[in-house]
Amino acid sequence: MASSSVFDKNIQLIQNHSRTYSQQQYVYPVVSRRSRGISIGINISPTGLCNFHCVYCQVLGESRLEETQRQRANLPAIALDVLENELRQTLTASLNGELFRQGTFAQTPQAMRRVNDIALSGNGEPTLSPQFHQTVQVAAKVRKELNAADVKLVVITNATQLQRPEISAAMDLLFDNHGEVWAKLDAGTDAYYQKIDRCSVSFDTIINNITALAKRRPLVIQTMLLKLHGESISDKELRAYVERIQKICESGGKIQRIQLYTIARKTAEKYAEPLDNALLDAIAKRIRNETRLLTETFYGMEKSG
């Protein structure tokens, strides 16, 4: 379970998930609660391309959702050579400690001055990028070159594209490089999924994709727990969610752990609000007891604005 003490004292630092660093285009380090250290993000969705429209989206914000739709047709190519150089410089500065002499990173608590991962995430869904596989290749190359064997390669995904052969091949490369897939599963029923994630890809596709990949390699499941119009997840929905997890495991899927988190920053919809710590803990306990899986909780913070 996440210890809140280190994080609570450094709320400003960890709330700062700015995708800009040192005027770089694609690569940005953050002090990450979920990584318990430095996570070096690669933003391969600079236009915010995503096929989910989560009510809780904390990267796009309300005003950018329509803009994102427009940008889909106009996806700029990633300059992979620029991305590679930025990653090399950022990883080097993070590993040799230079990062912690810069700006707000100087406030990073000692316990979090470690590089946990290189994360392909950013402002949208990374697997929608036509250059996803190439980006994994670049990340694997730089990680190897800098002898960063302990640094994981993480992909944070909404799981809608995992069935595509090119994505599957990219995931294999990722797993061969100390990789982890953090797959989003926010619901147990199609109705709740549509309420929260608002996506045209069917819920069955998401479940099938997660199950298929979990049968090949252990996955991390990421679940957002929140209040909608003041109401938290119902008992019925929670039961359905637990059953989904149990079914994935019963069919041979392996789940390393479940990350349960709530809202920490401004959301796309104002009616999406964080759960309080006690309720998040109680839900985590139930999920842990009923699935026998490891859970981690990440508390919310005051919504700003």
| Choice between 93 and 275, CB closer to ligand SF4 | 275
At its nearest, how many Å lie between ligand SF4 and the CB of residue 57? 3
CA 117/CA 181 separation, integer angstroms? 12
List, in sequence order, the alpha helices (H) in 120-202. Answer: 132-145, 165-175, 190-196
Residue 178 found at the interface with ligand SF4 (CB under 6 A): no
| Choice between 91 and 275, CB closer to ligand SF4 | 275
Strand 255-261 and strand 226-228: pairing? unpaired
Question: Binder to ligand SF4 among 40, 59, 112, 142 (CB under 6 A)?
Answer: 59
Residue 60 found at the interface with ligand SF4 (CB under 6 A): yes
Backbone dihedral region of 23: left (phi > 0), alpha (psi from -120 to 50 degrees) or beta?
left
Closest residue by Cα to residue 46 from 82, 90, 10: 82
Instruction: Using the rule CB under 6 A, give the single segment among 55-63, 74-82, 129-137, 275-283 that binds ligand SF4.
Output: 55-63
Assigned token pair, 230: 């003041």
At its nearest, how many Å lie between ligand SF4 and the CB of residue 9? 27
Q: Which of residues 182-241 bind ligand SF4 (CB under 6 A)?
A: none
| Choice between 67 and 176, CB closer to ligand SF4 | 67
Residue 7: count other Cβ atoms within 10 Å of its Cβ.
Answer: 21
Question: Binder to ligand SF4 among 27, 30, 54, 93 (CB under 6 A)?
Answer: 54
CA 30/CA 24 separation, integer angstroms? 14
Residue 17 found at the interface with ligand SF4 (CB under 6 A): no
Q: Which of residues 155-174 bind ligand SF4 (CB under 6 A)?
A: 158
Residue 124 found at the interface with ligand SF4 (CB under 6 A): yes
Assigned token pair, 44: 């391969």
Q: If binding means CB under 6 A, how many residues of this protein chain bind ligand SF4?
A: 10
Instruction: Using the rule CB under 6 A, give the single segment among 53-61, 111-119, 225-233, 239-247 that binds ligand SF4.
Output: 53-61
Instruction: Using the rule CB under 6 A, give the single segment among 47-55, 126-134, 147-155, 248-256 that binds ligand SF4.
Output: 47-55
Contact (CB, 8 A) for 239 and 285: no
Residue 177 found at the interface with ligand SF4 (CB under 6 A): no
CA 261/CA 241 separation, integer angstroms? 15
DSSP line for 16-65 = ---S-STT-SSEEEEEETTTTEEEEEE-S-TT---S---TT-SSS-TTHH
Residue 280 found at the interface with ligand SF4 (CB under 6 A): no
At its nearest, how many Å lie between ligand SF4 and the CB of residue 284? 20
With vertex at residue 59, the alpha carbon angle to CA 64 and CA 40, rounded to the nearest 5 degrees, is: 140
At its nearest, how many Å lie between ligand SF4 and the CB of residue 6? 25
Residue 42 found at the interface with ligand SF4 (CB under 6 A): no
Interacting residues toward ligand SF4 by CB under 6 A: 50, 52-54, 57, 59-60, 124-125, 158
